[in-house]
Amino acid sequence: ETCCVSVETCCVSVEICCVSDETCCVSAETCCVSVETCCVSVETCCVSVETYCVSVETCCVSVETCCVSVETCYLALAVGYCPAER
């Protein structure tokens, strides 16, 4: 086991310590500090959104949201939000 001081608990060998969310992430997950949560490997940590985007989405920092496509992201940068997908 690996002990996480800030968590005040121990993670099993298959887990990694995520300080920010004070919990343990499984090996298939990535610790997102700003999100303060654990994201699975198919997801991407999106800092500005304070959440995670699925693999088919792109994190748009300026609009602070997750867009489905790059084209939608560029459009969102212009309008200030993510337009509804069709």
- For the chain, the domains span 1-29, 42-86
Residues in the chain: 86
Per-residue pLDDT of the chain (86 residues; tens, 9 = 90+): 444 545 455 555 444 555 444 555 554 445 554 444 555 443 445 544 444 555 555 666 555 566 666 677 767 767 766 666 54
Considering the entire predicted model, what is its pTM? 0.30
SS3 14: coil
Per-residue confidence (pLDDT) for residue 80, from 0 to 100? 67
Residue 1 DSSP label:
-
Query: Is residue 18 within 8 Å of residue 24, measured between CB atoms?
Result: yes
Helices (H), ranges, 1-86 = 70-79
